């Protein structure tokens, strides 16, 4: 009696499955794989029928992996990586060299790892030199020819206009959940250096309502500001996507004004080579595919 032949996984179904897993949304996955949301839903059904397992569960507008889906994800990524490696070895020469990429300090652990992972999947032999620094410093290094591509945060200043706008997000006041720092008569703040646009936006917002404050802690590194907030020694202006867990949003109820949105721009050194342009495309796509911000979930009241 012959052995049972197992079905083969369609690479396109696997690619769509991974896209949904990484974006948490059928709609955002559809944009990544260049299909309609209904076509993506049909692909998921085909894959689930093939494996005889449910791979996703819906939670409002988000979708999450089931236990079987989590098990499949590791296999799926390995299949796609091997497929890309095999095809690339025949249809395109391996690109080598170095690209110099700059990003603001607080992006180092939040966004840069995903960007590097995406880039490595298409350019595994290209080295990436990563520089984390304040936005103005990064732009100066780009102008000096020391960087090929950099991200820069702009709070409405002129230096963002020459780049490509790739992300907009609200700034909010962050305090320790259950903390009392914001009750102080003179509001203690944890801020970055005077060159930071977030600092300027936050102080301008307080000045508009004549709220007394003092810069109690100053650090160019976001972790330094977070340390002061987590110790309940100060509050800080942070992207709303960073506020959650032990931190909560403070606002009108606490006598604090809205701060406004900040903008993230991508700047390329010209002329840009094909490797730099590819990295820039991965950067843009990484921000496009970010999960939708849900302030009510990320910053629930204490």
Residue 249 inside a domain? The answer is yes
Last residue of a domain, one of 57, 91, 125: 91
* Nearest of 227, 228, 260, 104 to residue 215 by alpha carbon: 228
Q: Are residues 254 and 177 in the same domain?
A: yes
Residues 265 and 102: beta-carbon distance below 8 Å: no
Global pTM value: 0.67
Q: Are residues 55 and 162 in the same domain?
A: no
Residue 90 pLDDT greater than 80, yes or no: no
Q: Are residues 50 and 177 in the same domain?
A: no
3-state secondary structure at position 187: strand
Residues 272 and 280: beta-carbon distance below 8 Å: yes
Q: Is the peptide bond before 271 cis (omega within 30 degrees of 0)?
A: yes
Q: What is the rounded average pLDDT of the residues 135-157?
A: 88
pLDDT digits (tens, 9 = 90+) for 238-266: 999 889 899 999 999 999 999 999 999 99
Residue 3 inside a domain? The answer is no
pLDDT digits (tens, 9 = 90+) for 17-60: 998 988 888 988 888 888 999 999 999 999 999 999 999 998 87
Last residue of a domain, one of 91, 108, 138: 91
* Nearest of 175, 160, 170 to residue 198 by alpha carbon: 170
Residue reference for tokens 């959940």: 177
Q: Are residues 76 and 107 in the same domain?
A: no
Residue 2 inside a domain? The answer is no
Q: Are residues 146 and 228 in the same domain?
A: no
State residue 220's pLDDT score: 83
CATH number of the domain that 108 lies in? 3.40.190.10
Residue 40 inside a domain? The answer is yes
Neighbours of 281 (CB within 10 A): 14
Q: Are residues 75 and 154 in the same domain?
A: no
Q: What is the rounded average pLDDT of the residues 290-301?
A: 43
Residue 1 inside a domain? The answer is no
Q: Are residues 276 and 242 in the same domain?
A: no
Residue 129 inside a domain? The answer is yes
Residue 6 inside a domain? The answer is no
Count of domains for the chain: 3
* Nearest of 194, 190, 191 to residue 137 by alpha carbon: 194
Helix then strand count (H, E) for the chain reads 11, 11
Lowest-confidence segment of 33-47, 55-69, 156-170 by average pLDDT: 156-170
Q: Are residues 137 and 242 in the same domain?
A: no
Q: Which residues pair with 172 in a beta bridge?
A: 238
Residue 156 inside a domain? The answer is yes
Show the domain range for 65: 11-91
State residue 3's pLDDT score: 61
Backbone torsions φ then ψ of 192, nearest 5 degrees: -85, -170
CA angle 123, 128, 131 (to 5 degrees): 150
Compute the distance between CA of residue 213 and CA of residue 203 in angstroms, rounded to an integer: 9
């Amino acid at each position: 009696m012959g052995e049972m032949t197992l079905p083969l996984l369609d690479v396109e179904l696997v690619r769509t499955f991974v896209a949904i897993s990484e974006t948490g949304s059928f709609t955002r996955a559809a944009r990544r794989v260049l299909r309609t949301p209904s076509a993506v839903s049909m692909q998921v059904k085909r894959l689930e029928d093939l494996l005889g397992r449910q791979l996703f569960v819906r939670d409002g507008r988000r979708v999450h992996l089931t236990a079987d889906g989590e098990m499949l994800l590791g296999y799926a990524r390995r299949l796609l990586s091997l497929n890309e490696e095999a095809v690339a070895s025949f249809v395109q020469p391996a690109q080598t060299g170095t690209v110099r990429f700059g990003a603001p300090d607080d992006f180092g652990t939040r966004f840069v790892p995903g960007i590097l992972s995406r880039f490595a999947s298409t350019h595994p032999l290209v080295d990436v030199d990563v520089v984390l620094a304040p936005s103005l410093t990064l732009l100066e290094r780009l102008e000096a020819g020391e960087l090929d591509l950099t991200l820069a945060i702009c709070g409405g200043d002129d230096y963002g206009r020459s780049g490509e706008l790739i992300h907009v997000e609200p700034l909010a006041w962050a305090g320790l959940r259950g903390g009392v720092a914001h009750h102080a008569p003179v509001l203690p703040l944890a801020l970055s250096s005077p060159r930071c646009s977030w600092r300027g936006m936050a102080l301008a917002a307080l000045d508009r309502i004549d709220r007394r404050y003092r810069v109690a802690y100053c650090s160019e590194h976001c972790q330094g500001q977070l340390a002061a907030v987590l110790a309940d020694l100060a509050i800080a202006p942070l992207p709303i996507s960073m506020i959650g867990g032990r931190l909560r949003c403070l606002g009108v109820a606490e006598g604090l004004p809205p701060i406004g949105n900040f903008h993230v721009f991508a700047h390329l050194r010209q002329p840009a080579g094909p490797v730099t342009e590819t990295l820039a495309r991965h950067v843009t796509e990484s921000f496009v595919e970010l999960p939708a911000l849900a302030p009510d979930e990320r910053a629930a009241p204490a």
